[in-house]
Structure 1
C-alpha cells in the first residue's frame, strides 16, 4: 500500500454493544469502497474483519478487527471493536489509534451499557463521534425510537442527516437531508439511486431538515445570523459547519445504514471523508515527558502499540499507531517504556488477516510489525535515548479467577507456554502460581473470556485448561491456652531417639503472627536443640490441626524439657516440638478463619436495593454508600468464598452496568455451622489423597 498525506488519512473506530451491526457495517464500507469484490457477511463466515476461527464459531467480534483501504483518494482504516463487556478493553485500546468513533446502534432501540462505556471513553479521549442506526430492515425496529433514546444515554446534541424510507421488509433507503434527495436501493451492490423525496415523507423531511440546519448553524455565528435573517444556507456551508461541530464535540451526526445490504455505506464513507478529522486535525495527544506531539513526520518519533497478536508460526505481531515522526523498515527504534532498542523489519498495513507491505509509516498510519522481542500493548516508541509515555488506557482489574490444570496428562509444558502467549496478546489476562495452595490461578474478565482463551490456546498451542474454582486460603487459629508435653522416644537397637519438651500455647491478636519464646533455664534442653523445637512447631503450624490450613496468631513458649546425652538430636527435638504443638492446639479451641475482602461496588440507583440484598445474602456487611450522580458506590466486607463468582451475578442484577473491585482486607472466624462443613470436606479430600 502506498503512503498517503496525513490530511488524506481517516482512522475510525466502530463502537457499540454486541450484535448492533458494527462488523456488518464495516464490511459494507469495505465492499462499497471497492476494496473487496464481495460483501463479507458475519453469518456466512466470510467476514474480512472477523477472521479468527473463534469469531466465526461464536458469531461475534472477540478482538478489534482492522482494515485499511483506499476510498476517494483517501486512506480509511476501520477499527471494528468488540461489543461484549469482557472484551471491551481491546476496543478501548483501539480508540487511541482513532480520530473519531461511530456508535453503531441497532434499530431495535436497545442501547446497552457496553455502548455507554465505549462512548464515555471516546469522549474522555476527545474523539468526535457520530451515530449510525442499523438493521432498519428488520422487524420491530424504529429509527424514531432510537433517536428518542440517544439523549437519555448520552449528553450530546444529535443532528439527523438522514431519514429512513420504509421500515422492516419495506426499508429501501433514506432521505439525505443535506441534499434533500431520496437515495433508494434495489439490491446489495451499495449503489443507490437518487430521486425525489416520496410525497408521504415530504413534510417530515422538510421539518427534519430545518431541525438539522438549526443544529448545525449553532456552530458558526455567521451562519446563525444568515439563518435568523432567513437567508439560504448552501450545502457546502452546512458540510463545513458539520465538520466544525464534530471536531468540537458540539454536534453528533446521525445516519442510517444496513450493513447486510450495504445501504448507506457510501453515504457514510463520504461523510467520513468530508466531515471526520484527519490526524492533522487531532487535538494534542496526552503524553508524559513528550511535549507538543503533532502530526509532523519531520519531528522526533512518537508512536504507541495499541494491540498485540500472538501466532504460533509467525510469532508476536505488534500493531502500532504513529502520532509524530516516521518509521521505516530495517531500522532500530527506542521502546521508551521498556528502555530497550527494537529492530523493525517489515512494516505492513492490515486488511483483516492480510498484511500489505508499506514502504514507511508516518503520522496517522496504523500498521503491524512482526517479531519484536520486548514490546507489548501500551508501549511507547520514541527517538533513541528519549524517555516519556503516551497516555494509554490502563487494563481493568480481572473480575473472576479460576484454578487451571492441563486437561490431559503430559500437557503441562504446553499449557504453560500457551498461557504465556495468551498473555502477550491479552493483558486483561493475569496468571500466577498461588504459593499457598500451589494452584495455577488464571484471572480474567468473565466466563466467556476464559472459554475463548481456552479455545484459542487449544487451537494455537495444543493445550487445554481444566477449570475450577480456586481454593480459598483459609487459616486456623486458637482461642484458648494450655501447657502440654511433647515427647518423642524411639529405641530400635543401637542409638535411639529421645526428646522431651514442655510448651505453653497462647492466642495472639489478629495479625500478630507467630511468636516463639525461649524460657529454658539451667540447661534443661541444650541450646543447639532449641531452634529445632521451633522448627518442628512451625512445620506443624503450616500443616494445620483441624483442616490442613496454616495456624496463625499464636505464641508458643518453650519452658522445660529433658534430653539424653546419646539419643537426643535436632531431629528428635523437631519431632517432639511438632507433636507437642499438635496435641496442645487441639486443647486450645482451634477455629477456622476465612479471608474477608473489601468489595467496592458501583451501581445505578435503580439497582441499589437488589445489590444490597445480594451482599447481605453473601454474609456481607455493608459499611457505607456514597451517591455519585445517579449511581451509588457501596463498600462492604464480604467473605472471599462468597464473591469468587460475583461478576456474572452483578452483571445480571444491573443489566451489565454495575462494576466492582475487591481486595483482601482481613481474616475472620468462620461461623460454626459452615466451619464444620469446610473442615469435613478438607479432611475428606486429605483421605482421598
Structure 2
C-alpha cells in the first residue's frame, strides 16, 4: 500500500507478463461534477509513465480524449477507460460522469469495475458534496463495492480535510465514521496572498513519514517535532479502526494492553478490510505542478489500488443462467475457462464504426473468435420494450483505448477490459459466450428515463434518417427510451434529465446527421359525456346514379371509468336491417376514436341504437357508418363533454429534511399525497397521485428541490375528470390552434 515501496516485482510482475487476472485492478472513479476525476486520471497516468507530460500522450492528444470512445468535449457525459501499468500489474481506470443525468454510465462503470474510488472536492459546498456523493455511495453499497476516498482541491478548500473526512463518514451511513478514516494527512505550505495554503505533500500515518512533493519529485522525510502530536492522535484512531476490522480477535486486546502492533500486520489487515468493503481509507491528491513528474498523492493512490483493492479473482461475479433461465453453477474466473463476457458500453467511432467496451468475466476473448451474442435487454421500468436478440458473430479487432489511439491487443483475459470493433448488432448489456455452451449473465438494472422529449424531423431528408438514427441512439445508451405514442402520434425520446436530453439532440445532429425539432410533449387525454344525451344521424344523398340513405337514432349515457365503449342494439321491427347494425357500431367507434370536442378519444360510454330508417336500394354499409358517426356528434352537441386526464402513481424517495418541500410541491401540482413511510436511515418515501400534465418536468424539478438527492418512479393509475377551468382552457387552445 502507500507506505510500502511502490515498485512491486517478482510474482506480480510475472503474473502481469502472463496476463493473469491477479495482476489486474479495475477501478471506477466516481464523484460529483467538478470534483476533478478526469484531472486525477491524467495525474495517475502521468505518474505511472503512461504519458510524457501532464495528461498528454505521444500523439499530442490527452488521456481523456477517449471518453467511452468520444472526443474530449464530451468526456463529462461518457464512461471512459484509461489503462496504466504500475508495480508489475495493470490498472484499468474507469472515469464516470459526475452529472446525475448520466447514472447509466455510472452503473456501467460499476459493472465493469471491482472497486470504486470516490473523488470529492473540498472547494465545493459541503452540502452539495454530501448530497451528490450519498446517492453514488448507496449505489456502490448495494453491489458490495470496495471503496476509498480521495479529497481534491485542498489548495482552494472551503472545507478543511478533517471536515471532509467527517462528512464522508456521515455519508457512509451504516459503515459508521470509524470505517472512514484518513490513511494520510495533507501537508500544506505557507499561505499565499489569496489566503489559501498550497498542498505540498502527505504524512503517512502508519509509517510516520512525510512524503514531500514540493521540490517536484517525491521525497521521504521524518516528521518535525511539532507535527508529532497531531500525527499521533490520527494514527491511534486509524490503528484502532484497522484492528476493529481485523480477523484476529486477539489483536484488540493486545493493543489495549499496550503491545506494539507491527506495521506489516496493520497493513495486511487494512488491505483485507478495504478489499472486503468494510473499511474506506481517505487520501488527499493534487495534479502535478508545472514541470513536476508526479502529482501529489498519486504514488500513494496507485499503491493503494494495487495493494488494497481486490483483484478480479476476489470479487463475486454476476449470476449466470442458461438461455432459458435455468440457474447454473457460479462462474469461475480462470482465463482458461469457458468464455463469458459482457458489453458494458456501446459507442460509435467515426473511423471504425461501432465499438463495444467489453468486460471479460471468464475465459479469454481473442480476435477472430466466433462468439454467441445474447441480448436480454436491461431490467428496470421502461425497458420492457427492448427486444431479445441473439446471433453468432465473429469478433473483430481487439484494442486497448488510450487518448484517441486504439492500441491493438491479441486477446483479453478474464478480469480485463477491451474494445471490440464490429461486434454486429451487440448492445450494452449483451452477454458474449462460447457458441457451443451459450450462457446468459444476470443483467444489471438501469433507471427509468422520466423526462420526455417529443421530436419531429426537420425536413423531408431527415425523415428518412430519423428512424435509423434513433434506433442506434437507444442501442448505444440504454437509459434512453424511444416511444411511438399511438394516442398522440408523437415520437418521444425519454431521457434522465436536461443534460441527457441535450446530448441526445447533439448526437442526432453530429453523429447521425439528423436534424430534428423539439415540439411540445402531449399527454394522452380522453373525452367522455358528462351526462346522457340522444342523437340522430341522417345521411341522405341523391345526386344521380346510386344514392346514399341511412338514418339512425341513438341514446348515449356515461359509464364508470375504464368501461370503454359499449354498444347495444335495441332496434325493433327491422327499421335498421340486421346487416347494417355492425355498420352503425363501426361508425360510432370510429368517431369515438377521433373524439368529438378536442380531438381526443371518447371513452366510457354506452351507446344504444334505438331506431332508424333504410332504403331498399340506396342503403349501404358506408352510409350507415356515416350515419352512426353523425349521430354521435349530434349527441355530443347536446351535452357537456368532460375532458379526462391521466393520473400517475408516483413514489418519491428523498432525505427526511426534504419531505416538507416535496409534499408542498406535489400539492401545488394538484397532487394527492396518499402516504409516507421510512425507507432506510434518513430517507422517506412519499407516495402520491398526480396528474401527468403536472409532472412532465418533474425529473428536473425534483433534482433542484432535493439538491440532487431525490429520485422518483411513476406508473399509470387511471384517467379522471379534469377541473372545469383547465378543461375550458384546453378547448380554447384547441380552438385557437395553439
TM-score range normalised by the length of the shorter chain: over 0.9
Partner SS, residue 364 of structure 2: coil
1:87 is matched with 102
Q: Which portions of structure 1, spanning 4 or more consecutive aligned residues, are displaced by more than 6 angstroms?
A: none
1:567 is matched with 618
Contact 2:66 2:72 in 1 (8 A): yes
Any idea what the Cα deviations from partners look like across 1:10-54, whole Å, max 9, x if unmatched? 11111111111111111100011011112128xxx9641254698
2:456 is matched with 405
Contact 2:462 2:516 in 1 (8 A): no
Any idea what the Cα deviations from partners look like across 1:479-515, whole Å, max 9, x if unmatched? 2223332111222233332222122222222111111
Partner SS, residue 178 of structure 1: coil
Query: Cα offset for 1:550?
Result: 1.1
Distance 1:342 1:494, change over 3 A: closer
Contact 2:152 2:285 in 1 (8 A): yes
1:9 is matched with 24
Is 1:166 matched up with 2:188?
yes
2:54 is matched with 39
Of the candidates 699, 721, 724, which is equivalent to residue 647 of structure 1?
A: 699
Is 1:123 matched up with 2:141?
yes
Query: Cα offset for 1:400?
Result: 0.9
2:40 is matched with 25
Partner SS, residue 664 of structure 2: helix
Structure 1 residues not aligned, in runs of 5+: none
Partner SS, residue 327 of structure 1: strand
Query: Cα offset for 1:340?
Result: 2.9
Is 1:105 matched up with 2:120?
yes
Is 1:208 matched up with 2:234?
yes
Any idea what the Cα deviations from partners look like across 1:402-426, whole Å, max 9, x if unmatched? 1111234531223322222111211
2:651 is matched with 600
Contact 1:621 1:636 in 2 (8 A): yes
Which deviates further from its counterpart, 632-641 or 279-288? 279-288
Count, aligned residues: 681
Distance 1:627 1:140, change over 3 A: closer
Partner SS, residue 411 of structure 1: helix
Contact 2:317 2:361 in 1 (8 A): no
Partner SS, residue 350 of structure 1: strand
Any idea what the Cα deviations from partners look like across 1:159-186, whole Å, max 9, x if unmatched? 3211111163432111122322212223
1:77 is matched with 92
Is 1:268 matched up with 2:310?
no
Provide the rounded CA distance (Å) in 1 between the counterparts of 2:395 and 2:72.
32
1:235 is matched with 263
Query: Cα offset for 1:556?
Result: 1.5
Instruction: Name the TM-score, length of structure 1 as normaliser.
Output: 0.94
Contact 2:358 2:418 in 1 (8 A): yes
2:79 is matched with 64
Distance 1:237 1:561, change over 3 A: same
1:617 is matched with 668
1:308 is matched with 346
Of the candidates 540, 544, 569, which is equivalent to residue 518 of structure 1?
A: 569
Contact 1:285 1:390 in 2 (8 A): yes
Distance 1:125 1:146, change over 3 A: same
Contact 1:506 1:556 in 2 (8 A): yes
Any idea what the Cα deviations from partners look like across 1:402-458, whole Å, max 9, x if unmatched? 111123453122332222211121100011211121110110101110101111221
1:666 is matched with 718
Provide the rounded CA distance (Å) in 2 between the counterparts of 1:604 and 1:55.
37
2:333 is matched with 295
Query: Cα offset for 1:602?
Result: 1.3
Provide the rounded CA distance (Å) in 1 between the counterparts of 2:518 and 2:581.
45
Provide the rounded CA distance (Å) in 2 between the counterparts of 1:50 and 1:149.
33
Query: Cα offset for 1:136?
Result: 0.9
Provide the rounded CA distance (Å) in 1 between the counterparts of 2:65 and 2:242.
36
Provide the rounded CA distance (Å) in 2 between the counterparts of 1:192 and 1:21.
22
1:132-151 equivalences in 2 (<5 Å):
132-151=150-169
Partner SS, residue 564 of structure 1: coil
Partner SS, residue 158 of structure 2: coil
Distance 1:333 1:658, change over 3 A: same
Query: Cα offset for 1:298?
Result: 2.5
1:154 is matched with 172
Provide the rounded CA distance (Å) in 1 between the counterparts of 2:487 and 2:142.
41
Distance 1:284 1:501, change over 3 A: closer
Provide the rounded CA distance (Å) in 2 between the counterparts of 1:483 and 1:252.
74
2:382 is matched with none
Of the candidates 419, 422, 441, which is equivalent to residue 368 of structure 1?
A: 419
1:457-606 equivalences in 2 (<5 Å):
457-606=508-657
Any idea what the Cα deviations from partners look like across 1:112-134, whole Å, max 9, x if unmatched? 43422222222222222111111
Distance 1:606 1:23, change over 3 A: same
Contact 2:201 2:214 in 1 (8 A): no
Provide the rounded CA distance (Å) in 2 between the counterparts of 1:260 and 1:460.
35
Of the candidates 345, 350, 357, which is equivalent to residue 319 of structure 1?
A: 357
Provide the rounded CA distance (Å) in 1 between the counterparts of 2:198 and 2:224.
14
Contact 1:312 1:461 in 2 (8 A): no
Provide the rounded CA distance (Å) in 2 between the counterparts of 1:159 and 1:637.
44
Query: Cα offset for 1:312?
Result: 4.8
Provide the rounded CA distance (Å) in 2 between the counterparts of 1:224 and 1:283.
30
Partner SS, residue 19 of structure 2: coil
Provide the rounded CA distance (Å) in 1 between the counterparts of 2:545 and 2:278.
95
Partner SS, residue 355 of structure 2: strand
**Alignment RMSD (CA, Å):** 2.3
Distance 1:360 1:55, change over 3 A: closer
Structure 2 residues not aligned, in runs of 5+: 1-15, 190-195, 290-294, 322-326, 376-388
Contact 1:302 1:380 in 2 (8 A): yes
Partner SS, residue 579 of structure 2: helix
Provide the rounded CA distance (Å) in 2 between the counterparts of 1:447 and 1:434.
21
Partner SS, residue 568 of structure 1: coil
Provide the rounded CA distance (Å) in 2 between the counterparts of 1:479 and 1:247.
66
Partner SS, residue 61 of structure 1: helix
Distance 1:498 1:315, change over 3 A: same
1:332-371 equivalences in 2 (<5 Å):
332-337=370-375, 338-371=389-422
Provide the rounded CA distance (Å) in 1 between the counterparts of 2:318 and 2:629.
63
1:415-430 equivalences in 2 (<5 Å):
415-430=466-481
Query: Cα offset for 1:225?
Result: 5.1
Query: Cα offset for 1:313?
Result: 4.2
Contact 2:130 2:167 in 1 (8 A): no
Contact 1:290 1:389 in 2 (8 A): no
Any idea what the Cα deviations from partners look like across 1:42-92, whole Å, max 9, x if unmatched? xxx96412546987447x621111011222211111011111111022111
2:211 is matched with 183
